[in-house]
Amino acid sequence: MLTRLLLSDRGGLIILALLTALIIYVPIGNLLLPADSPLHVSTFTVTLLGKFLCFALLALAIDLIWGYAGILSLGHGAFFGLGGYVMGMYLTRQIGDRGVYGHPELPDFMVFMNYDSLPWYWQGFDQFWFALLMVMLVPGLLALVFGWMAFRSRVSGVYFAIITQALVFALMLAFFRNEMGFGGNNGLTDFKDILGFDITARQTRVTLFVISGVCLIGAYLMCRFIITSRFGRVLVAIRDAESRTRFAGYQVESYKLWLFVFSAMLAGIAGALYVPQVGIINPGEFSPIASIEAVLWVAVGGRGSLFGAIIGAFSVNGAKTWFTTVYPEVWLFALGTLFVLVTLFLPRGIAGIFRTLGQWTSRKPKGDEQ
Amino acid sequence: MSLLKDTRALMRRDQVFDFMLPPPDFEQPVDLSHGPILYLEDVSVSFDGFRALNRLNLAVDAGELRCIIGPNGAGKTTMMDAITGKTRADEGQIYFGQRIDLQKLSEYQIARGGIGRKFQKPTVFEALGVFENLELSLASDKSTWASLGFRLRPDQRDRMDEVLQLIGLGTQRDRQAGTLSHGQKQWLEIGMLLMQNPMVLLVDEPVAGMTAEETERTAELLTSLAGRHTVIVVEHDMAFVRSIARRVTVLHQGSVLAEGSMDRVSSDPRVIEVYLGEET
């Protein structure tokens, strides 16, 4: 089955090979090679690449629903952020009495706001397994309720995109409020350790990086499995001719809902991996712009090819990092230009180049295909 | 209002109380004991005050090949929408066999239950191959989880090859559906209906945009399907209707104007006035 998934997908195979190489090389480069070696990978770079891996996972989740089912969600940051907050809650509980106020149970911001005891929705987050479960359940549940209402009313296209923006904006406003009990404006930060390992230690950073990479590869394979099954063909059918699909006997809404929930869970996992690496989660993750940017990664990388989303997340974020350190004031112009250029000249994104090249090489000898 | 309606429904002597009817069960064979497989009574559909269907009555027997004609705006497509669940009737009853009330079911349930529909504009899944188009339409468990693990059984594969031959696309099985000619798309869509194994085929303008030769082959195909399936064809092309029809229903302004053999219908003065007169 694995061969079926991989063989039909050359671009993806290359990306997977590169990812695997990265996962193997980075730990060696960081932990084993001496700091003055030219092949040494700094801890800063490890964390940066780890962040990119999380973004790539988010982009993958968006490409799955946008590229294959035509559902444009401009609010995937909501699920990413929720996954991040769940992980943040676990990490906050791990701080224990090492906070500024030294309270044995309550996080600093709660002490500051005169909480007597932990709110009910913070219960259980001291357990890692519970947090892991919630990382998938919370975004999944929100997607289930939201998607059920939206798809049942046959909201689609631009209207769906707009209400997802509204969703993420509403979450941002809610999480900004101190009374919500998630640290308000400042969010959750000052994490100490994860599963007993020091979160700032090099080894922990590298481990988190490797886990992110493995999760990305796993998610990629799952997405490939979905789109190469009949399920995937139903999705394409829905995207291109929704009512025809309905009259072929498919319950279109349940397909969309299933995929939307799955995609939200992937985004949640991405958020949960992101937070321990950057060390903070705040309502900024819910900003509508962040969600739109994530869709941009997919557009740049190439919608509807899965591996294109990974390329897009890496290239746009790579460019962002470079620009914001070298020419910070130019970055937004560069992003705008990039988007215009991609729309004009590469409607199928960077992955489109690969595909055209692939068709060139594989079609030429045959010559009889039109 | 609806309470009043419900009470009235209970008072009617000519039918069983609605709540006593068993739920629609597609596992059971459709009850055809009284003849009609599709039965519409007093069906009305309005859009913003415009009555697209006006107390339409229609009964189609199992295995029949019925042609429905009528001028533009006569309600032909709306009738198909009402039968397949795309549009809900404001009034009236639509039954599949004796027992199944189609108005209580949604589009996908009606499709799974055995009513297939071909659209006016040929609609196939353009990004997918011809074979995949048929595979998607194949009658099978179409729930999400079943689709994830779906594998074609050999007998299903055979059935698909059979249908591919029938619709004359045997050599095109790997071609992308979007690249087919207009006529081939029409056939592919008919083939997709056949894969659903429907009892009733609703075919909306099957020969629009076809060459004379293609039209002839389509006529053959549809006639060969009648008997095993019930075929309802909506068509404008009178020559085509004449070549296949055994029984013709003329719609006008949302209700039935005339019904009978082609010769009888075409000599009916009212039909000549509203429809045929314009063409000849």
Contact B41, B92 (CB under 8 A): yes
Cα–Cα dist B131/A260, whole Å: 27
The token pair that represents A128 in the structure block:
């890692």
The token pair that represents B74 in the structure block:
């006569």
- Average pLDDT score over residue span B53-65: 91
Cα–Cα dist A343/A1, whole Å: 36
Tokens 């009259």 label which residue?
A247
Classify residue A239: in a domain, yes or no.
yes
The alpha-carbon gap from A251 to the nearest alpha carbon of chain B, in Å, equals 6
Q: Which residues of A touch B147 (CB under 8 A)?
A: 229-231, 234, 255
Cβ separation A233–B84 shorter than 8 A: no
Helix (H, G, I), strand (E, B) or coil at B156: helix
- Tell me, what's the pLDDT at B276? 54
Task: Tell which residue, A76, A101, A59, has the closest CA to residue A260.
Answer: A76
Cβ separation B150–A229 shorter than 8 A: yes
- Average pLDDT score over residue span B195-224: 89
Contact A17, A6 (CB under 8 A): no
Contact A252, A242 (CB under 8 A): yes
Q: Is the pLDDT of residue A370 over 70?
A: no
The per-residue pLDDT for range A7-22, each reduced to its tens digit, is: 678 888 999 999 999 9
User: Which residue did the predictor score with more confidence, B33 or B101?
Assistant: B101
The alpha-carbon gap from A332 to the nearest alpha carbon of chain B, in Å, equals 36
Contact B201, B229 (CB under 8 A): yes
Classify residue A370: in a domain, yes or no.
no
Cα–Cα dist B85/B116, whole Å: 12
The token pair that represents A109 in the structure block:
């911001």
Identify the weakest region by mean pLDDT among B79-83, B156-160, B270-274.
B270-274
Cβ separation B128–A241 shorter than 8 A: no
Cβ separation A234–B179 shorter than 8 A: no
The token pair that represents B42 in the structure block:
């007093």
Contact B219, B212 (CB under 8 A): no
CA B45, B51, B55, B60 dihedral sign is negative
Q: Is the pLDDT of residue A120 over 70?
A: yes
- Average pLDDT score over residue span A353-367: 65
Cβ separation B108–A244 shorter than 8 A: no
Cα–Cα dist B44/B88, whole Å: 9
- Beta strands in chain B, from DSSP E residues, in sequence order: 36-47, 50-61, 65-69, 91-96, 100-101, 115-118, 200-204, 230-234, 247-252, 255-260
Classify residue A368: in a domain, yes or no.
no
Identify the weakest region by mean pLDDT among A50-59, A328-337, B21-30, B159-168.
B21-30
Identify the weakest region by mean pLDDT among A116-125, A349-358, B168-177, B271-280.
B271-280
The token pair that represents B68 in the structure block:
């429905």
Cα–Cα dist A52/A46, whole Å: 10
- Tell me, what's the pLDDT at A96? 86
- Tell me, what's the pLDDT at A298? 95
Determine the residue type at B109.
Answer: Q
The alpha-carbon gap from B193 to the nearest alpha carbon of chain A, in Å, equals 8
Those residues whose C-beta lies under 8 Å from the C-beta of residue A370, and which sit 6 or more positions away, are B179
Q: How many CB atoms lie within 10 A of CB A351?
A: 28
Cα–Cα dist A312/A333, whole Å: 18
Element (H, E) at A194: strand A193-194
Cα–Cα dist A334/A344, whole Å: 15
Closest Cβ opposite residue A246 in set B107, B124, B135: B107
Nearest CA in chain A to B146: A231
- Tell me, what's the pLDDT at A105? 86
CA atoms within 13 A on the CB side of A201: 11
Q: Is the pLDDT of residue A104 over 90?
A: no
Cβ separation A248–B107 shorter than 8 A: no
Grade residue B7 by pLDDT with cuts at 50, 70 and 90: confident
> Which DSSP symbol is given to A187?
-
- Tell me, what's the pLDDT at A232? 94
Cα–Cα dist B280/B270, whole Å: 15
- Tell me, what's the pLDDT at A365? 46
Tokens 């269907």 label which residue?
B53
- Average pLDDT score over residue span A223-245: 93
Cα–Cα dist A178/A85, whole Å: 15
Classify residue A369: in a domain, yes or no.
no
Chain B, 28 to 87: residues with Cβ < 8 Å from chain A are: 84, 86
How many independent structural domains does chain A possess? 1
The alpha-carbon gap from B134 to the nearest alpha carbon of chain A, in Å, equals 10
Determine the residue type at A49.
Answer: L
- Tell me, what's the pLDDT at B122? 85
**Residue spans per domain, chain B:** 14-279
Nearest CA in chain A to B195: A248
Q: Which domain holds residue A64?
A: 2-363
Those residues whose C-beta lies under 8 Å from the C-beta of residue B182, and which sit 6 or more positions away, are B122, B209, B210
Classify residue A59: in a domain, yes or no.
yes
Contact A135, A83 (CB under 8 A): yes
The per-residue pLDDT for range A264-285, each reduced to its tens digit, is: 999 999 999 999 999 999 999 9
Maximum Cα interatomic distance, chain A, rounded to a whole number of Å: 77
> Which DSSP symbol is given to A284?
G
The alpha-carbon gap from B257 to the nearest alpha carbon of chain A, in Å, equals 29
The alpha-carbon gap from B25 to the nearest alpha carbon of chain A, in Å, equals 16
The token pair that represents B120 in the structure block:
């006016």
Tokens 């990086």 label which residue?
A209
Grade residue A194 by pLDDT with cuts at 50, 70 and 90: very high
Interface of A with B (CB under 8 A): 225-226, 229-231, 233-234, 236-237, 239-241, 243-252, 254-255, 258, 370
Q: Is the pLDDT of residue B207 over 70?
A: yes
Contact B43, B93 (CB under 8 A): yes
- Tell me, what's the pLDDT at B32? 76
Nearest CA in chain A to B110: A249
Those residues whose C-beta lies under 8 Å from the C-beta of residue B65, and which sit 6 or more positions away, are B222, B223, B225, B226, B230, B231, B233, B244, B245, B246, B247
Backbone angles phi, psi at B98, to 5 degrees: -85, -30
Q: Is the pLDDT of residue A327 over 70?
A: yes
- Tell me, what's the pLDDT at A149? 95
User: Which residue did the predictor score with more confidence, A74 or A105?
Assistant: A74
Q: Is the pLDDT of residue A81 over 60?
A: yes
Closest Cβ opposite residue B125 in set A240, A249, A251: A240
- Classified by CATH at the fold level, domain B14-279 comes out as Rossmann fold (3.40.50)
Grade residue A263 by pLDDT with cuts at 50, 70 and 90: very high
Share of chain A above pLDDT 90, in %: 70
Cβ separation B108–A250 shorter than 8 A: yes
